[in-house]
Amino acid sequence: MKPEDVEIPEDALSESFLAATGPGGQNVNKVATAVQLRADLFKLGLHPDAYERLRRIGGSRVTGAGELIITARRFRTQEANRADARRRLAEMIAAAHIVQAKRKPTRPSRAAKAKRVDSKRQRSAVKQGRGKVTFD
């Protein structure tokens, strides 16, 4: 699933604007351009497995109440920060839909085991030859 294919219901989101840090001169002190996007994970309507993966991806950004908080303050305008926050949320949801393939444990073949033992024996013989020299 691609981030642009993700549809996020509006009732699952709430936004608040706060004063941002960084570039912008004195305008930073006057205008609340940073966006704090809160997404209610229950209202997103995800499959239970995708929901669990999204909680894991969100990590410490997920509150105890099941809200994912994304703060966007990279840009100097509210609209750009809103778009950035929504894009990041869509990327996280798309990543949560990716199912990791289960690892199948493998065993070395009999020939591989024999080759390993032979090389160990050979190395042992080399090291045995490095013993003290006795003059009889």
What's the CATH number where 54 sits?
3.30.160.20
- Does residue 38 form part of some domain? yes
Task: Give the pLDDT of residue 3.
Answer: 65
Task: Give the pLDDT of residue 64.
Answer: 85
- Does residue 112 form part of some domain? no
Task: Give the pLDDT of residue 134.
Answer: 77
3-state secondary structure the chain: CCHHHCCCCHHHEEEEEECCCCCCCCHHHHCCCEEEEEEECCCCCCCHHHHHHHHHHHHHHECCCCEEEEEECCCCCHHHHHHHHHHHHHHHHHHHCCCCCCCCCCCCCHHHHHHHHHHHHHHHHHHHCCCCCCCC
This prediction has a pTM of: 0.66
Task: Give the pLDDT of residue 23.
Answer: 62
- Does residue 22 form part of some domain? yes
- Does residue 54 form part of some domain? yes
Task: Give the pLDDT of residue 129.
Answer: 87
- Does residue 115 form part of some domain? no
> How many domains in the chain?
1
Range of the domain at 85: 3-96
- Does residue 131 form part of some domain? no
- Does residue 56 form part of some domain? yes
- What is the mean pLDDT of each successive set of 10 residues along the chain, which is 136 residues long? 70 79 67 84 84 87 86 85 89 88 92 97 92 77
Task: Give the pLDDT of residue 114.
Answer: 97
Task: Give the pLDDT of residue 51.
Answer: 85
- Does residue 130 form part of some domain? no
Task: Give the pLDDT of residue 25.
Answer: 65
